Amino acid sequence: MYHLLIVDDDKINLATAKKALSSVYKVTAVTSGEQALRFLQNNTCDLILLDINMPEMDGFEVMAKIREDLSLADIPIIFLTADSDPQVESRCLKEGAMDFITKPFVQNVMLSRISHALELEALRRDLSAELEARTIHIKYIQEMMVIGMATMVESRDLSTGGHIKRTSMVVRIFAQKLSNEPDSLPKSFLDKVIRAAPMHDLGKIAVDDRILRKQGRFTPEEYSEMKKHSVEGQRIVQHILEGVEEAEFVKIAENIAHYHHEKWDGSGYPDGLSGEEIPIEARIMALADVFDALVSKRCYKEPYSYDKAFSIIEESVGTHFDPKLGKIFLECRPELQALYDSVCNDLEKII
């Protein structure tokens, strides 16, 4: 049964309305704005019938206070007015009331206005739930497409199988640790970094197969070709995501692709940025990227032991890596070892 809250300082009006509505709805009746707000602190309702002219706090003020509270902001409000002034009516609707009912009440009119308002509200909720579900679905499809593209790019590079999936899992663990830090980065930002991580090497699509699949070390020319994947990656990410994803996410994904090979001391590529000039999302990605390269088998090296990999990272904190982030990354060792001992080994078998 729908629950209505009626707010009216006129006790006779209140009693009339309560009598007319009680057979169809659960009704709570109060005589002032303060009482209504107090009721809403601990209770909720499906619709509010709100008198405009009340002493102390008028209906407009009460509505403004209700709208300030996000948990109450969606409750539809119908104003009760003894005024048939069109200006008052237009102000009611302009300020966010769903409808208004003039006093003295005509029972049938009041009942049908309330039932229409409740139907409309139910429809609005259904629509927004459906929209939310569709948005989530579209985002999921898009993420799967991006991961599919990244995996395709990676499959050309015979030496780094599983790198995209593993680095994404490393970023997730790292982000989790970062979110527990005092003055941590906002969770919404870290979630975007996790979602963008699989795109960090998309630019490798523009690198020649001959270089990508080369067994052994690169010549200086080949290395400078390989380095182009960062700039190319930024361009591709921008091309895929712009206009589809929200601007903040596009920027984060672009920065990750563009700057994940920059180093804290300025000796990285492509732009030789240093310190905090390097976007923090790229500094996070750099740690995950290098860690995976160290503990994985590459065509030019066997996997390093965890001891060796973590000591290389530790030595590079302050030169290659952001000192603060590097220290926190090192604290992720138990979780990272557990990940590589279990999931990543299985991943190797699947890929």
Q: Using CB under 5 A, list all residues that contact Fe ion.
A: 201, 289
Task: Give 321's strand partners.
Answer: 317
Given the complex with Fe ion, which of 17 and 199 has the nearer CB atom? 199
Sign of the CA dihedral 249, 251, 252, 253? positive
Integer Cα distance of 37 and 50 in angstroms:
12
Given the complex with Fe ion, which of 60 and 174 has the nearer CB atom? 174
Cβ atoms of residues 351 and 162 within 8 Å: yes
What kind and span of H or E run contains 20? helix 11-21
Nearest-5° Cα angle at 281, 279 to 282: 70
Given the complex with Fe ion, which of 20 and 193 has the nearer CB atom? 193
Alpha-carbon separation of residue 84 from 116, 178, 238 (angstroms)? 21, 59, 56
Cβ atoms of residues 48 and 78 within 8 Å: yes
Given the complex with Fe ion, which of 47 and 236 has the nearer CB atom? 236
Structure tokens belonging to residue 235: 């361009």
Question: What minimum distance in Å lies between the beta carbon of 338 and Fe ion?
Answer: 22
- 44-66 as b/e, with b when 16 or more CB fall inside 10 Å? ebbbbbbbbebeebebbebbebb
Q: What proportions of the chain, in percent to the nearest 5, are helix, strand and coil?
A: 60, 10, 30
Question: What minimum distance in Å lies between the beta carbon of 295 and Fe ion?
Answer: 13
Question: What minimum distance in Å lies between the beta carbon of 257 and Fe ion?
Answer: 8
Question: What minimum distance in Å lies between the beta carbon of 229 and Fe ion?
Answer: 6
Question: What minimum distance in Å lies between the beta carbon of 180 and Fe ion?
Answer: 26
Question: What minimum distance in Å lies between the beta carbon of 297 and Fe ion?
Answer: 15
Question: What minimum distance in Å lies between the beta carbon of 171 and Fe ion?
Answer: 11
Given the complex with Fe ion, which of 201 and 245 has the nearer CB atom? 201
Integer Cα distance of 156 and 136 in angstroms:
31
One-letter amino acid for residue 208 of the chain: D
Question: What minimum distance in Å lies between the beta carbon of 282 and Fe ion?
Answer: 11
Given the complex with Fe ion, which of 200 and 251 has the nearer CB atom? 200
Question: What minimum distance in Å lies between the beta carbon of 293 and Fe ion?
Answer: 7
Cβ atoms of residues 87 and 100 within 8 Å: no
Structure tokens belonging to residue 290: 């290098």
Written as one string, the DSSP assignment of 30-97 is ESSHHHHHHHHHH---SEEEEES--SSS-HHHHHHHHHHSTTTTTS-EEEEES---HHHHHHHHHTT-
One-letter amino acid for residue 324 of the chain: K
Given the complex with Fe ion, which of 201 and 262 has the nearer CB atom? 201
Given the complex with Fe ion, which of 81 and 168 has the nearer CB atom? 168
Given the complex with Fe ion, which of 6 and 282 has the nearer CB atom? 282
Structure tokens belonging to residue 314: 């530790």
